[in-house]
Structure 1
Amino acid sequence: MMKEAHLIKEIPLASTEDGAITVATVKEPYGQNSSPIVSLGIWLSKTSEEPDWKVHIPVENLDDVIEALKEAKKAL
């Protein structure tokens, strides 16, 4: 069972009226001694209880994911 997330930032989702991107951290998300994660949620509408999409990025992969996102931004 996933532990409680600590919200870092909520960003308005472009091209939606009330959508959002949430960035949160979760320590021991999958039980004792599991590695922390960053949880990204995509909400098409914040009236929903759960995000439409959710991605969990292990802390060990975070730097590589950030670098890949920077490369993707340059390519656009």
Structure 2
Amino acid sequence: MPCKHIEVKTFKLAHSTSDTVKIEHVEKPYGEYSSPVVSIAIYSEGKTKTSEVEIPYENIEIFFKALNESVALCDSIPRSEIHAELNSEIGGGA
């Protein structure tokens, strides 16, 4: 049986007008006896794959932990509120 991709979720990439993230379960990604992986791919304009990472299920828990640590790190860095310099909830253009 060849490699089989099963789509789990596709969603719009933040801060982009047309790029998407696609998450798939992949059976037999490297041949008949290979273990399944999770594929996380970015598609430009929903069509062209621009990047992809495949994570074995054996590494999912450490992957989640690292993502949560990254979110905590990001949240711990002080930042100005969006558009605070304009004293407005929306930005302006030039």
Q: Please, what TM-score do these two structures have when normalized by structure 1?
A: 0.87
Q: Which residue of 2 aligns with 1:27?
A: 27
Determine which structure has more spread, i.e. the larger CA radius of gyration: 2
CA distance in 1, matches of 2:70, 2:34: 30
1:3 Cα deviation (Å)?
1.3
Whole-angstrom CA distance in 2 between matches of 1:53 and 1:23: 12
2:79 is aligned with 1:70? no
Gaps of 5+ in 2: 75-94
| Sequence identity (%) | 29
Considering only aligned residues, what root-mean-square deviation do their CA atoms show, in Å? 1.3
Deviations along 1:15-51, whole A, 9 cap, x unmatched? 1111111110011111111011000001232132xx1
Runs (4+) of structure 1 moved beyond 6 Å? none
1:16 aligns with 2:8: no
Deviation (angstroms), 1:59: 1.0
TM-score normalised by length of structure 2: 0.72
Q: Which residue of 2 aligns with 1:59?
A: 57
Pairs aligned (count): 73
